[in-house]
Structure 1
């Protein structure tokens, strides 16, 4: 756990680590999973003021892809926040050929977004 973590995050870390070990993960893998999960939560809530990451840069985009978000579901319309899969499904419904080899930008262009 990073220094300066709250007791709540310490408990969360231990719980995740023990759960992963109970499911058969090695100790090292369990620690890694727990640390990543807790650090992600700290980052989302603004608890982690400085990343201190050796990789550098912001990883915000990956967390926004994985869950949460307030995207509206439903058909059609111009949705700037649509994922590649959502655009692909819309292209499939509209019968756009070559969609399987298109990237997100190409799909959006083909759909007129």
Structure 2
């Protein structure tokens, strides 16, 4: 945490870091996630001396968004999951199908 941080931001940093570690992030990655999140919140509330345009103009806070950006490219079920469903439904030719073909065969 930067020098002169408030006690609230210190607690926030620790809470986010511990949560990230519980979810399996390395200590280094957990620290990075916590620092970025707290710094963005500091920028949005006017506590930071300098801040990027995206930090101050994002309409949703980090907590409201809940990691939505990190899941932006989500493609739904994996090919293996689709394959298992096709297997249960006895779809013919499933072993040679790619993900898109499996989706189509399952009507997704």
CA 1:62 to 1:42, structure 2 compared with 1: closer, same or farther past 3 Å?
A: closer
Q: Over residues 77-99 of structure 1, what are the superposed CA-to-partner deviations in whole Å (9 max), with x where a residue is unaligned?
A: xxxxxxxxxxxxxxxxxxxxxxx
Q: Over residues 46-75 of structure 1, what are the superposed CA-to-partner deviations in whole Å (9 max), with x where a residue is unaligned?
A: 0112x3xxxxxx5213653x5429xxxxxx
Give the match for residue 40 of structure 1.
40
- Using the size of structure 2 for normalisation, the TM-score is 0.51
Give the match for residue 4 of structure 2.
4
Pick one of 54, 61, 67 that aligns with 2:54. Answer: 61
Runs of 4+ in 1 over 6 A off after TM superposition: none
Unaligned runs of 5+ in 2: 62-108
Unaligned runs of 5+ in 1: 52-57, 70-113
- Using the size of structure 1 for normalisation, the TM-score is 0.49
Q: How many residues align structurally?
A: 61
Output the aligned Cα RMSD. Answer: 2.0
Q: Is the 8 A contact 2:9 2:38 kept in 1?
A: yes
Larger Rg, first or second structure (1 or 2) = 2
- The 5-angstrom pairing of residues 1-113 of structure 1 reads 1-49=1-49, 51=50, 59-61=52-54, 64=57, 66-68=58-60
